């Protein structure tokens, strides 16, 4: 165009100048439009969408969907794992709760057994109701069992409260899991339009499966996004569930420790009471045996006293002589011939009569003392027999209590069972 312009400007023309200028302006305008069109084509080649825009946009959208779905799948997997761990923790804590309830039931049975033991010991005879070491052991066992019962009930309340916390955390996890799982339904609709898209999608899925382990480990470090895969609700639900599981594990350890401690203290208290009752029973049986010996000695003493009383009464009868004076023989009279001859001299008085009277009185006193002793021995014998009967009844009651405590020591009986 520049050559044509120079040629036209240097050539002598015959036509008018206006005619030529009009033509030149038209040519310049056409050249401007040609340059503008060429620039527009170059820009269009660079910026205009390609013909396969729909497929390309679909592939990009599918890739974005797959990426988001993979991230959501990781979140869902972590939520499901936390949900399973929470369920297992609830099961473990529920088993701990059952063990705690069983231990509490054993404590209640021991308290009822202690109450029955005290009640049956109260039915002993009156002379055997004095407070002894066995009563002190039963009272100490009751106080100890009541303290254990209160501690177990407090621990059971904590476990029940923690189970409610775990259930709330599980419900929250399940709700978040359901909400996050809704986007997983989009996977069956996000189909690539080309073979390359499918191949890239499969390779991305394989890479996602390989890297899922490391991604799961670093999931907690992901930045939360209200509109992203890992929302604040997911983070809070996972944190709450983790904290609840940690608290539950600590409670399970406490429950295990308190159950072991309770069983040891319970067995120790039960054994000490049984040993105390056994010792009291042995002491009662020993005293009963001594009472039997004393009762035999008392019986022998009564027999000896009766024989002595009979002998003394016979001796007094001999001393008093016959009832009728006519039955006296000559040699038994106080005025027998020998005495009358002896008393012919003055101052020859004999103390025979006074000695006979004094001997009779002495024998009478001996008879009275022997009778009193026999009465005392009889009274002592009655008391010994009564004490022996009381000891026998007390030993029977204590032995029945010991048998009852040994029979019910395995806690395989109902609280409504009668003794």
Which CATH number does the domain housing residue 69 bear?
1.20.1270
Same domain, 261 and 295: no
For residues 124 and 122, what is the distance between their CA atoms, to the nearest angstrom?
A: 5
Sign of CA dihedral 339, 340, 343, 349: positive
Same domain, 359 and 217: no
Domain boundary among 250, 280, 310: 280
Q: For residue 342, give its domain range.
A: 291-322+334-407
245 with 300, same domain: the answer is no
Would residue 101 count as lying in a domain? yes
Q: What Cα–Cα distance (Å) separates residue 195 from each residue in 55, 145, 160, 200, 414?
A: 11, 77, 58, 9, 74
Residues 272 and 178 in one domain: yes
Query: Is residue 115 within 8 Å of 395, Cβ to Cβ?
Result: no
Q: Which residue has the tokens 């308290």?
A: 111
Please check whether residue 300 lies inside any domain of the structure. Answer: yes
3 occurs within a structural domain = no
Residue 337 clears pLDDT 80, i.e. is over it: no
| Long-range Cβ contacts of 156-163 (<8 Å, 24+ apart) | 156/97, 156/100, 156/101, 156/104, 158/251, 159/93, 159/96, 159/97, 159/100, 159/251, 159/255, 160/97, 162/93, 162/244, 162/247, 162/248, 162/251, 163/90, 163/93, 163/94, 163/97
**Residue 416 included in any domain:** no
> What pLDDT is recorded for position 24?
85
Give tens-digit pLDDT for 269-323: 999 999 999 999 999 999 999 999 999 999 999 999 999 999 988 888 877 777 7
Q: Does residue 208 register a pLDDT over 70? A: no
Q: Same domain for 113 and 251? A: yes
Torsions phi, psi of 345, nearest 5? -90, 145
Average pLDDT for 250-272 = 93
Q: How does residue 37 score in pLDDT terms, banded at 50, 70 and 90?
A: confident
- 223, two tokens: 């930045």
Same domain? For 262 and 151 the reply is yes
Least confident of 36-50, 124-138, 225-239, 393-407: 36-50
Angle at 214 between CA 211 and CA 220, to 5 degrees: 130
Q: For residues 239 and 225, give the distance between their C-alpha atoms in angstroms, rounded to a whole number.
A: 16
In the listed set 248, 280, 312, which residue is the last one of a domain according to the structure? 280
Q: How many domains does the chain have?
A: 2
Both 109 and 143 in one domain: the answer is yes
The residue with greater pLDDT, 267 or 62, is 267
153 is a domain residue: yes
- DSSP-derived letter for residue 125 is -
Q: Does the pLDDT of residue 113 top 90, yes or no?
A: yes
pLDDT at site 1 = 44
Residues 167 and 261 in one domain: yes
Q: Band of the pLDDT at 197, cuts 50, 70, 90?
A: very low
Do 160 and 212 belong together in one domain?
Answer: yes
- Give yes or no: residues 110 and 246 share one domain: yes
* Average pLDDT of every residue of the chain: 83
119 and 197 fall within a common domain:
yes
What integer pLDDT is reported at residue 3 of this predicted model? 42
DSSP string, 139-204: HHHHHHHHHHHHHHHHHHHHHHHHHHHHHHHHHHHHHHHHHHHGGGGGGGT---SSHHHHHHHHHH
Residue-wise pLDDT tens digits, 346-384? 776 777 767 777 888 888 888 899 999 999 999 999 999
In terms of domains, do 358 and 261 share one? no
301: buried, middle or exposed (CB in 10 Å: 19+, 13-18, 0-12)?
middle
Residue 209 has pLDDT above 90, yes or no: no
Tell me, yes or no, whether 201 lies in a domain: yes
pLDDT of residue 418: 44
In a domain, 49, yes or no: no
pLDDT band at 4 (very low <50, low <70, confident <90, very high): very low
- Which residues neighbour 174 within 8 Å (Cβ) at sequence distance 6 or greater? 83
Is the pLDDT confidence value at 15 over 80? no
For the whole model, what pTM was predicted? 0.70
């Amino acid at each position: 165009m520049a050559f044509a312009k120079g040629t036209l400007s240097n050539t002598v023309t015959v036509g008018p100048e206006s005619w030529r200028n009009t033509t030149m302006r038209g040519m310049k305008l056409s050249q401007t439009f040609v340059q503008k069109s060429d620039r527009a084509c170059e820009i269009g080649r660079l910026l205009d969408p390609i013909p396969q825009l729909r497929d390309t946009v679909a592939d990009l959208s599918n890739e974005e969907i797959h990426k988001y779905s993979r991230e959501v799948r990781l979140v869902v997997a972590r939520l499901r794992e936390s949900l399973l761990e929470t369920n297992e923790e609830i099961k473990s804590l529920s088993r701990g709760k059952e063990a705690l309830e069983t231990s509490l039931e054993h404590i209640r049975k021991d308290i009822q057994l202690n109450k029955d033991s005290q009640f049956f010991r109260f039915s002993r005879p009156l002379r055997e109701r004095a407070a002894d070491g066995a009563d002190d052991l039963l009272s100490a066992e009751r106080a100890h069992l009541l303290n254990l019962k209160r501690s177990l009930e407090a621990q059971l309340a904590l476990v029940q409260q923690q189970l409610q916390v775990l259930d709330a955390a599980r419900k929250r996890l399940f709700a978040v899991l359901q909400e996050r799982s809704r986007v997983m339904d989009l996977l069956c609709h996000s189909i690539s339009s080309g073979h390359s898209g499918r191949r890239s999608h499969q390779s991305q899925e394989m890479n996602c499966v390989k890297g899922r382990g490391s991604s799961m480990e670093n999931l907690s470090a992901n930045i939360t996004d209200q509109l992203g895969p890992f929302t604040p609700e997911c983070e809070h639900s996972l944190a709450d569930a983790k904290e609840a599981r940690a608290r539950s594990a600590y409670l399970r350890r406490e429950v295990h420790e308190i159950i072991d401690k309770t069983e040891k203290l319970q067995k120790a208290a039960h054994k000490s009471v049984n040993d105390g009752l056994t010792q009291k029973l042995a002491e009662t049986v020993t005293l009963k045996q001594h009472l039997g010996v004393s009762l035999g000695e008392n019986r022998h003493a009564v027999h000896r006293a009766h024989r002595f009383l009979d002998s003394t009464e016979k001796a007094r009868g001999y001393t008093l002589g016959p009832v009728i004076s006519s039955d006296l023989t000559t040699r038994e009279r106080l005025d027998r011939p020998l005495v009358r001859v002896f008393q012919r001299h003055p101052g020859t008085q004999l103390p025979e009569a006074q000695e006979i009277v004094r001997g009779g009185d002495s024998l009478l006193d001996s008879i009275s003392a022997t009778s009193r002793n026999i009465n005392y021995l009889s009274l002592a014998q009655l008391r010994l027999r009564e004490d022996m009967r009381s000891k026998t009844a007390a030993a029977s009651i204590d032995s029945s209590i010991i048998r009852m405590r040994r029979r019910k020591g395995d806690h395989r009986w109902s609280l409504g069972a009668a003794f």
